[in-house]
Chains A and B, each alone.
Chain A
Amino acid sequence: MPGKSHSGQKLAGEKKFMKAEKEITKIIVISSEKVLPVDAAMKIYESEFPVTVKETCFGLIVTGPETDVLQVTEEIRQLDKNHIFVKDRGFPAGDERRCRAVRGGGPRPGFHFLREEVKMLPAIGEALDELERKGPPEELKKQKSRLKVSELERIIETELAR
Chain B
Amino acid sequence: MSSDELETVKIALVSCGSEYAGVQPEFEAAAKQVNAKFIYPEVDVDLIDNIGKEFGLEVASGDLKLMMARARAVVEGLSHVDGVFITTCFRCAEAAIVRNEVRRYIHRHSNIPVISYSFTERTSAGTLLTRLEALTTVARRRHLLAREAQTGLTAGIDSGSTTTKAVVMKDNKIIGSGWVPTTKVLESAEDAYSQALKEAKVTRKEVQALGTTGYGRFLVGKHFKAQLVQEEITVNSKGAVYLADTQKGPATVIDIGGMDNKAISVEDGIPGMFTMGGICAGASGRFFEMISKRLGVDITELGTLAVKGMQENVTMNSYCIVFGIQSLVNSLAKGASPEDVAAAACYSVIEQLFEQQLQEVDVKEPLILVGGSSLIEGVPKALGDLLKIDVIVPRESHLIGAVGAALLASGYVEE
What residues on A are CB-neighbors of B10 within 8 Å?
A: 104
Partner of A112 from B41, B45, B79 at Cβ < 8 Å: B45
Q: Quick check: is B37 within 8 A (CB to CB) of the other chain?
A: yes
Is the beta-carbon distance between B42 and A106 smaller than 8 angstroms? Answer: yes
Main secondary structure of the interface of A (DSSP, over half): mixed
CB distance from B174 to the nearest CB of A (A): 44
B37: chain A residues within 8 A (beta carbon): 104
Cross-chain contact A105 with B42 (CB below 8 angstroms): yes
Q: Is the CB of B79 within 8 A of A105?
A: yes
Tell me if A116 counts as interface (CB < 8 A to partner B). yes
Q: Is the CB of A116 within 8 A of B79?
A: no
Interfacial chain B residues near A116, Cβ < 8 Å: 45
Once the chains bind, are B45 and A106 in contact (CB under 8 Å)?
no
Q: Is A105 a contact of B39 with CB atoms below 8 Å?
A: yes
Contacts of B70 in A (CB 8 A): 106
* B38 A104 Cβ-Cβ under 8 A: yes
Chain B positions 95 through 136: 1 when the CB is less than 8 Å from some CB of chain A, otherwise 0: 000000000000000000000000000000000000000000
Q: In whole angstroms, what is the CA distance A64 to B38 when docked?
A: 31
Give residues of chain A (68-127) contacting chain B, Cβ–Cβ below 8 Å.
103-107, 109, 112, 115-116
Roughly how many angstroms separate A116 CA and B49 CA in the complex, as a whole number?
10
Tell whether, in the assembled complex, residue B42 and residue A107 are in contact, meaning their CB atoms are under 8 Å apart.
yes
Q: Please indicate the chain B residues that have their CB under 8 angstroms from the CB of A106 in the complex.
A: 39-43, 70
Q: How long is the Cα–Cα vector from A106 to B74 in the complex, in angstroms?
A: 12
Kindly provide the distance from the CB of B19 to the nearest chain A CB, expressed in whole angstroms.
Answer: 8
Q: What sequence of 0s and 1s flags, for each residue 59-98 of chain B, a beta carbon within 8 Å of any chain A beta carbon?
A: 0000100100010000000010000000000000000000
Residues of the B chain whose Cβ atoms lie less than 8 Å from the Cβ of A103: 39-40
**Contact (Cβ within 8 A) B39 A104:** yes
Interface size on B, residues (CB 8 A): 15
Interface centre among B10, B41, B45, B63 (most CB of A within 10 A): B45
Is B48 in contact with chain A by the CB < 8 A criterion? Answer: yes
How far is the CB of A109 from the nearest CB of chain B, in Å?
A: 8
Q: Which residue on chain B has the smallest CB distance to residue A104? A: B39
The contact of B40 among A105, A112, A115, by CB within 8 Å, is: A105
Chain A residues in 8 Å Cβ range of B45: 112, 115-116
Nearest B residue to A112, CB-CB: B45
Find out whether the CB atom of A104 lies under 8 angstroms from the CB atom of B40.
yes
In the assembled complex, which residues on chain B have CB atoms less than 8 Å from the CB atom of A104? 10, 37-40
> Which B-chain residue is minimally distant from A113 (CB atoms)?
B62
CB distance from A14 to the nearest CB of B (A): 27
Kindly list chain B residues whose C-beta atoms are within 8 Å of the C-beta of A112.
45, 48, 66
CA distance A111 to B156 in the complex (A): 50
> Are B48 and A105 closer than 8 Å at their CB atoms?
no
B79: A residues at CB distance < 8 A:
105
Give B38's nearest chain A residue, CB to CB: A104
For the complex formed, measure the closest distance between the CB of B18 and the CB atoms of chain A, giving whole angstroms.
Answer: 12
Bound Cα distance A115, B49 (Å): 13
Q: Which chain A positions have C-beta within 8 A of B38?
A: 104
A109–B10 CA distance with the chains assembled, in angstroms: 20
A105 to B44, CA, bound (A): 12
CB distance from B35 to the nearest CB of A (A): 14
How far, in Å, is B25 (CB) from chain A's closest CB?
Answer: 12
CB distance from B258 to the nearest CB of A (A): 38
* A128-145 CB contacts (< 8 Å) to partner B: none
- A109 to B43 alpha-carbon distance, docked (Å): 12
Chain B residues with CB under 8 A of A105 = 39-42, 79
Complex Cα–Cα for A105 and B79 (A): 8
Shortest distance between the CB of A41 and any CB in chain B (Å):
25
By a beta-carbon cutoff of 8 Å, the part of chain A in contact with chain B is: 103-107, 109, 112, 115-116
Pull 16 A–B residue pairs with CB atoms less than 8 Å apart, ordered by A: A103-B39, A103-B40, A104-B10, A104-B37, A104-B38, A104-B39, A104-B40, A105-B39, A105-B40, A105-B41, A106-B40, A106-B41, A106-B42, A106-B43, A112-B66, A116-B45
Q: Which 8 A-B pairs have the closest CB atoms?
A: A104-B39, A106-B40, A112-B45, A105-B39, A106-B42, A105-B42, A105-B40, A105-B41
